Amino acid sequence: MNSLTKVNLLLSFLYLLLGSLLGFMLGYKQTASFLFSMGGSPTLAHAHLQLVGFVTQMIVGVTYHIVPMLSRGKINSFKLGYLHTALLNAGLLIQVWGFLTDRILFKSFGSLLLFASIVMYLFNILKSMKWR
């Protein structure tokens, strides 16, 4: 297993833990009222931690492991892979903070970073595949 796969899988598990913790906190009146008192939408933050953080990051990690095996090639660029992983994580955390605090600047900038990271990921994976 290559290092890019390992990083993405470990981050995926971290987001599973964080998203589950936030979901757990939403289940209790005292902590839920605190989260909602921040002015934002903690349910959106919870959903994004689980879906973008856990599920998407897991798919990215598995893809970086499977694509070289299936195409009998190699990853186009590990540097680009690490860059898009960093942008995905920065964008997600910024966006989640925006959801929790209802700050449009954080939500918008986080979304922009997430979109850029997805474009980089798709470019890197498609360039890694051998199209016969």
Q: Which pLDDT tens digit goes with each residue over 49-106? A: 999 999 999 999 999 999 988 888 889 999 999 999 999 999 999 999 999 999 999 9
pLDDT of 132 reads: 62
CA angle, residues 99, 63, 75, in degrees to nearest 5: 115
Whether pLDDT at 129 is above 90: no
Residues 10-19, mean pLDDT to the nearest whole number? 97
Whether pLDDT at 40 is above 90: yes
Please, what is the average pLDDT of the chain? 94
Q: Which residues contact 81 (CB under 8 A, 6 or more apart)?
A: 4, 64, 75, 121, 124
pLDDT of 61 reads: 96
Percentage with pLDDT > 90 across the chain? 88
Whether pLDDT at 14 is above 70: yes
Whether pLDDT at 130 is above 80: no
Whether pLDDT at 131 is above 90: no
pLDDT of 53 reads: 96
Of 46, 124, 34, the C-alpha closest to 92 is: 46
